[in-house]
Amino acid sequence: MYIPLSKAVARAHRRLFPDEPRQNPRTLQTIALALTDLIPIYRGDYQLTEPELLAERFTAASMDELVVSERRFQAALETLQVQSLDMARASLTLRQSPRTFSVLR
């Protein structure tokens, strides 16, 4: 079963950013771009190639025309969530670590 990329991206946004009800278009584009590394993206029955994906702008209109496998999307969503948590942990660690400053002489 296939679902529109726009719906997949909106679901991913709700899962990754549960406290952020507003879905910023640039954030949605970033999620769509991240998904291209994890799952095939289709326009109808045709799987987009890497050059086509790189050229894709991932506007709201284009994401309505593109589709992904729901089963593969669910697996990719788990991967995105784990990566998001790992990045948050790394960011928190960096913010909490003591800062050392070098003195220029």
**Three-state secondary-structure class, residue 3:** strand
The secondary structure element, H or E, covering residue 42 is strand 42-43
Q: Are 3 and 67 in contact (CB under 8 A)?
A: yes
The CA-based diameter of the chain, rounded to the nearest angstrom, is: 64
Q: Which band of pLDDT confidence, cut at 50, 70 and 90, is reported for residue 102? A: low
User: What phi, psi does 71 have (nearest 5°)?
Assistant: -60, -45
How many whole angstroms from its chain centre is CA 42? Answer: 16
Q: What is the pTM of this model?
A: 0.78
pLDDT in tens, 19-65: 888 999 988 998 899 899 899 999 999 999 999 999 999 999 999 99
Contact 15, 81 (CB under 8 A): yes
pLDDT of res. 17: 86
Q: What is the CA radius of gyration of the chain?
A: 17
**Mean pLDDT over residues 93-101, rounded?**
58
**What pLDDT, in 10s, does the model give residues 64-96?**
999 999 999 999 988 887 666 555 455 546 555
The number of residues in the chain equals 105
